[in-house]
């Protein structure tokens, strides 16, 4: 579909969280339509190292694209995105639960919890096992939802977050993991989350940290430099966004993720002719799914309404 469209780009934009038009260039655009496929907008994929043009805001420190693809194209790519990351999703969920342990312990089991961009529902499943019943997930990829546990699948709505899809309900905890980089208007999205929380409700967001040592070292070869990402945050730009919306008691800290060895190798900026045999060798030795806890360039934010 996308290869038949002459102009894939929409309107240029200012910084999507502070609206400043003052920036410095960060990376030039690198888009090859022939390399886009059903996994290009899927989670935990093999990096293609494609990207929009990226600039860095001189006011709030956000890295963002000022030349995004048309939103209808992006929505279509997410809706048709493939899914092949159930094991990796479970590893990520383990990290999210650990990062939110103090928040979760302060909720009662009748609390209402919303997970936006929930994938196949690993986080919802784990939350339900703890004892929470009032749970809801939202996910645009039908294929991802098809991988859901049958019980959890009933708790997931297919689509994009809106007041209509949640029927104007209020929540005590809203989670948005590894997704804020992907939305066209992060300020509007976080404002919607704020209005959808009960008083003293909690919003938790996990994002890649463009300011981390590992991502700075890798530069344009970092897996966070990706065509999916319309903006990239660090601690200061994320705090700016929360404060702009009106959140209080904001904490932002590095997140310890759990990575399998094969997933770490998948992210390495090395040729496939080396990468694929190495992964196959680890599979042969049954070492590929060994999980390693690392603080490797992600941050978790918790903020109260």
CATH architecture of the domain with residue range 79-304: 3-Layer(aba) Sandwich (3.40)
What pLDDT, on the 0 to 100 scale, is given for residue 263?
Answer: 67
| Cβ–Cβ under 8 Å, residues 168 and 112 | no
286 vs 136, which has greater pLDDT?
Answer: 136
Indicate if the pLDDT at residue 205 is higher than 70. yes
Q: Is the dihedral of CA 114, 127, 207, 103 positive or negative?
A: positive
Q: pLDDT tens for residues 137-151?
A: 999 888 889 889 999
**275 against 153, higher pLDDT:** 153
| 41-97 tens-digit pLDDT | 655 556 677 899 999 999 999 999 999 988 777 777 666 555 555 566 787 898 899
Tokens read off for 265: 């190798």
Average confidence score pLDDT of the chain: 86
Task: Pick the more confident residue, 115 or 34.
Answer: 115
Side-chain-facing half-sphere of 117: CA atoms under 13 Å: 22
User: pLDDT per residue over 155-192, tens digit each?
Assistant: 999 999 999 999 999 999 999 999 999 999 999 999 99
Instruction: Give me 269's structure tokens.
Output: 């900026």
What confidence score (pLDDT) does residue 218 get?
86
Interval 242-295: pLDDT, tens: 999 999 999 999 998 766 676 667 766 777 788 788 778 767 777 666 666 667
**210-230 average pLDDT score:** 90
For residue 279, the model assigns a pLDDT of 73
Q: Which residue has the higher pLDDT, 86 or 16?
A: 16
Q: What is the DSSP string of 82-122?
A: ----HHHHHHHHHHHHHHTHHHHHTS-TT--EEEET-TT-H
Would you put residue 278 in left (φ > 0), alpha (ψ -120 to 50) or beta? alpha
Instruction: State the pLDDT confidence band at 152, using cuts at 50, 70 and 90.
Output: very high
Answer for the pair 68, 52: CB distance below 8 angstroms, yes or no.
Answer: yes
């Amino acid at each position: 579909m996308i290869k038949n469209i002459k102009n894939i780009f929409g309107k240029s934009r200012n910084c999507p969280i502070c609206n400043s038009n003052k920036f410095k260039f960060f990376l030039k655009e690198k888009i090859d339509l022939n390399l886009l496929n059903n996994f290009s907008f899927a989670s935990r994929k093999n990096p293609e190292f494609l990207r929009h043009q990226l600039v860095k805001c001189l006011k709030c420190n956000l890295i963002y694209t000022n030349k995004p693809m048309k939103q209808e194209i992006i929505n279509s790519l997410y809706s048709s995105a493939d899914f092949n990351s159930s094991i990796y999703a479970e590893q990520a969920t383990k990290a999210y639960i650990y990062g939110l342990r103090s928040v979760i312990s302060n909720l009662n089991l009748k609390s209402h919890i919303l997970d936006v961009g929930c994938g196949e529902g690993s986080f919802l499943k784990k939350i339900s096992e703890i004892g929470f019943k009032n749970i809801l997930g939202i996910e645009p990829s039908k294929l991802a939802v098809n991988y859901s546990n049958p019980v959890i699948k009933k708790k997931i709505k297919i689509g994009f977050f809106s007041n209509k899809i949640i029927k104007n309900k209020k929540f005590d905890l809203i989670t948005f993991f590894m997704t804020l980089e992907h939305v066209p208007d992060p300020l509007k999205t976080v404002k919607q989350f704020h209005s959808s929380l009960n008083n003293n409700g909690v919003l938790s967001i996990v994002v890649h940290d463009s300011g981390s040592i590992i991502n700075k070292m890798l530069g344009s070869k970092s897996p966070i430099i990706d065509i999916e990402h319309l903006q990239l945050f660090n601690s200061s730009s994320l705090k700016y966004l929360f404060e702009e919306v009106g959140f209080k008691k904001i904490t932002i800290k590095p997140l310890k993720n759990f990575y399998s060895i094969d997933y770490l190798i998948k992210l390495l900026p090395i040729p496939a002719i080396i990468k694929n045999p190495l992964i196959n060798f680890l599979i042969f030795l049954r070492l590929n799914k060994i999980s390693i806890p690392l603080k490797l360039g992600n941050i978790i934010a918790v903020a109260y309404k």
